[in-house]
Structure 1
Amino acid sequence: MQKATSGDGHRRVPVLAVKNVSYWYGSKKALKDVSFDVYPGRVTALLGPNGAGKTTLFSLITRLFDASEGRIEIVGRSPSEWGSKALAPLGVVFQQPTLDLDLTVKQNLRYFAALRGLARKDADERMHRALAALAMGERIEERVRSLNGGHRRRVEIARALLHGPQLLLLDEPTIGLDVPTRTAIVRHIHELARADNIGVLWATHLFDEVKDDDDLLVLDRGRIVASGEARDIVAETGARDLGGAFRLLIGGETEEDVAA
């Protein structure tokens, strides 16, 4: 992936740098010399078939696992060296829901804000702002159990943004949602990245969630097999669209075979 530059030509510093990372499960090598950067204000889409290593990669970035080889830096700090301080600029929405269903939207967000050390007044202001941006402001007093899947996802995204992260990780955030809800979330995340200068790493198996000018990583059998702007990758393969380019890059998988 080309080094990103600002409007005045100066190279920007990545909010996430993954350098020559490899990882084993016993004797099986799940990731093989993976390197890439995520830049502020950019959405980087991560595509890969089932078993490609996407979940392993997210686990390493969030330090659920420690990398066997290589280095990961979040805003210049390695989690293996800095621990929780390195993870402070990170917001995460995991594939599996993690909200407390018996608490209200407000209670869920206040609890998270307290864990992050935010003062109540500041937390409430951020909460209302984040929920309003996701068209969820009127549901703040509702119990999460009463919300549908799309609304719960929006609450999780709002929660991930409360502390003002510089890097947002999204692991299949729209899985199981209807098309209008997916479209709204995709649009909001792209607008958010630009407006707040957040770097986003978005794992998805849906080609229509990737915009032509997004940065794109294609991961296959633990290796990065393509990186660059999505439109450039499609052009380089000679395919008609991203789905066709993806199938060529990974050796013929169909769209239905792509999964987290």
Structure 2
Amino acid sequence: MAAVLSCRDVSKRYGRTQALDKVSLQVDEGEMVALLGPNGAGKTTLFQLLTGLFVPDSGSVEVLGADMRRNPVAALAHLGVVFQQPALDLNLTVRRSLRFHADLHGLPSSVSRPRIEALLQRFGLAASAGELGRKLSGGNRRKVELLRALLHEPRLLLMDEATVGLDPASRVQLLQEVLQAREERSIGVLWATHLVDEAQRAQRVIVLHKGTVRFDGTPQALCAAQGQETLEAAFLQLTGGERHAKAA
């Protein structure tokens, strides 16, 4: 399969803190990869580099062969992202937010309007299309952000701790929507999380700890490498973490 994301030897330092140290990873077309790491592992810093918000001190990031530093427009054109922090304009209606996003991507209305309506139906948001963002539940706000990220039909979807603050049912639903979009459109997905139960649905797991990649392989291979029966136990042993409650 073709790589939709290629990150090679990426490093980033903030003062005396080495946030990332020669991080390399790849996501292929149609592949779901979980970026699993405890809080403070460097996941958010990595996503800031992958989305072009900041540039690495060294190394490279490519999306479908387009270098994020040298050709950011081409790289971002293939990228959809849902950030950890909510990024929905609460003073716009759902439909207006989506149309605004479509305009930013240069989609003509003849393309964007039917696509928006189809996605609203697909995500069960048609009845809420005329509501202001502030009137939506937390789960529905996240669904709008995911819908928005998929609107321009990206080849790569980045989910940065996107379920933080959601109730368990909303977390499961959001994950299921992403898995279905991946299957239907062969989108490459990089799902950053510190919740092991979310990573269990991925085809491959990358463990990031203290700014370095500690493991890259299937969940089963991680368990075998650590001599543990569960992914949670293997992850905690690898990162030296303390056992914490898993979300349902």
TM-score, normalising length: structure 1 = 0.91
C-alpha displacement of 1:212: 5.0
- 2:206 — aligned with what? 217
- 2:45 — aligned with what? 56
- 1:73 — aligned with what? 62
- 2:244 — aligned with what? 255
- 1:96 — aligned with what? 85
The 5 Å alignment of 1:147-162 reads 147-162=136-151
Does the aligned pair in 2 maintain the 1:40–1:193 contact within 8 Å?
A: no
C-alpha displacement of 1:213: 5.0
Match of 2:157 among 168, 172, 177: 168
Q: Over residues 139-196 of structure 1, what are the superposed CA-to-partner deviations in whole Å (9 max), with x where a residue is unaligned?
A: 1111111100000000000000010000001111111111111111111111111110
- 2:17 — aligned with what? 28
Does the aligned pair in 2 maintain the 1:170–1:200 contact within 8 Å?
A: yes
| Rounded Cα–Cα distance in structure 1 between residues aligned with 2:157 and 2:22 | 23
| Rounded Cα–Cα distance in structure 2 between residues aligned with 1:129 and 1:207 | 33
Identity of aligned residues (%): 43
C-alpha displacement of 1:132: 2.1
- 1:126 — aligned with what? 115
- 2:35 — aligned with what? 46
| Rounded Cα–Cα distance in structure 2 between residues aligned with 1:24 and 1:124 | 43
| Rounded Cα–Cα distance in structure 1 between residues aligned with 2:197 and 2:125 | 24
1:18 aligns with 2:7: yes
The DSSP-based 3-state class of the residue aligned with 2:157 is strand
Structure 1 residues 255 and 50, CA gap change in structure 2 (3 angstroms): same
C-alpha displacement of 1:79: 1.1
C-alpha displacement of 1:129: 2.0
Match of 1:141 among 130, 138, 144: 130
Q: Over residues 18-57 of structure 1, what are the superposed CA-to-partner deviations in whole Å (9 max), with x where a residue is unaligned?
A: 1111111123211111111001111111111121110110
Q: Point out the more displaced range, 123-132 or 28-37.
A: 123-132
| Rounded Cα–Cα distance in structure 1 between residues aligned with 2:83 and 2:189 | 13
Does the aligned pair in 1 maintain the 2:36–2:199 contact within 8 Å?
A: no
Q: 2:157 corresponds to which letter in structure 1?
A: L
C-alpha displacement of 1:256: 6.0
C-alpha displacement of 1:230: 1.4
Count how many residue pairs are aligned between Structure 1 and Structure 2: 246
* Unmatched segments (≥5 aa) in structure 2: none
| Rounded Cα–Cα distance in structure 1 between residues aligned with 2:112 and 2:99 | 7
Q: Over residues 109-139 of structure 1, what are the superposed CA-to-partner deviations in whole Å (9 max), with x where a residue is unaligned?
A: 0011011101112111111222222221221
Does the aligned pair in 1 maintain the 2:49–2:55 contact within 8 Å?
A: yes
* Unmatched segments (≥5 aa) in structure 1: 1-11
| Rounded Cα–Cα distance in structure 2 between residues aligned with 1:111 and 1:170 | 21
Q: 1:83 corresponds to which letter in structure 2?
A: P
TM-score, normalising length: structure 2 = 0.95
